[in-house]
A = this chain, B = another copy of it.
Amino acid sequence: MNVFIVGIGLIGGSFAKDIARLYPKATRYGIDKNKDHLDEAKGLGLIHHQATYEELSKAHIVLIAIPVDALVADLPKILDLIQDDCLVIDAGSTKALVCKTVENHPKRRNYLACHPIAGTEFSGPSAAIDGLFDHKTNIICEVEKTAFKLQETALELFQNMGMRIRYMNAEAHDKHIAYVSHLSHISSFMLGKTVIEKEKNERDIFDMAGSGFESTVRLAKSSPAMWTPIFEQNKDNVIETLEEYIQNLEAFKKLIQDDDFKSVYNEMNNTNRIKEILKGIPLTKS
């Protein structure tokens, strides 16, 4: 079996590790426009061979794990190049535009639109982690548009990787994920910006960061090259979530200004139930 990984970074590299463990006989090919990453991936043993799009005709499975602007640009080309029995999956954080882009592609049935909810704030092949996908959710969109046989191949693979499957339509995915993921990233980036702007002495940030800042700002270490096209593709949903978030912050500020600390307490107390909601989420090893 030939497995091609397009984009051999954190996600592609962790996928490669799973393939190596689960399918030791499979040959792993890496494609990446970043030659250093390709060399690093080879050096780390994530892939057997460096490859190019021209070689995709021998692929049985292709995973695409590149920024979503590149995904939308390249998925049609990749579908053009594969054989009829090849499964193409992706790991993009937005799903509506990519599904729309290939809806009339003659090989649409070879593609399964996926979003594995897994990752860390780090990037590149050296950020790849064993078991990154274990016990994580994989959101699959428009499953009915993928050939049944290839759905089966994908589900067996995901099951072996330890993933739980959720089915959604692409629009619902993009709306939900804007709240639970995209907004978290913006709140974290802007928190980092606010603190950096104010605290000219970086030593002060460092010394006080144990007070909760370091976890809240963790996502502000994320890759701008990955996140910019996500916000672009999910613009409308992201703006909506941001507006609601800003409204909530304004309302909280007003309660403090008005010395209404009973309501400040209640706001926090009501939100405490996030504890129960999140109970049992496996933490990403890093």
- Residues in chain A within 8 A of chain B (CB atoms): 93, 117-119, 121, 136-137, 139, 164, 166, 176-177, 179-181, 183-199, 202, 204-222, 224-225, 227-229, 231-232, 235, 238-239, 241-246, 248-250, 252-253, 256-257, 259, 261, 264-275, 277-278, 280-284
- The complex places the Cα of A250 from the Cα of B275 at a distance, in Å, of 29
Chain B neighbourhood of A277, CB < 8 A: 196, 202, 205-206, 209
Chain B residue with Cβ nearest A135: B210
Which B residues are CB-close (under 8 A) to A266? 224
In contact, A210 and B246 (Cβ under 8 angstroms): no
| Set B185, B241, B259, B273: member contacting A194, Cβ < 8 A | B241
Question: Which single member of B180, B195, B207, B249 contacts A190 (CB below 8 Å)?
Answer: B249
Contact A184 to B253, CB < 8 A, known contacts A194-B241, A267-B189? no
Contact A265 B117 (CB under 8 A): no
B212 near A215 with CB under 8 A, answer no
Residue of B nearest to A184 (CB): B216
Could you say which residues of chain B place their CB within 8 Å of the CB of A282? 210
Contacts of A207 in B (CB 8 A): 117, 137, 139, 164, 166
Shortest distance from the beta carbon of A228 to any chain B beta carbon, whole Å: 4
Once the chains bind, are B209 and A281 in contact (CB under 8 Å)?
A: yes
Q: With a CB–CB cut-off of 8 A, which chain B residues contact A205?
A: 180, 277-278
Q: Which residues of B contact A176 (CB under 8 A)?
A: 199, 204, 208
Given contacts A224-B265, A239-B253, A245-B190, contact A212 B206 (CB under 8 A): no
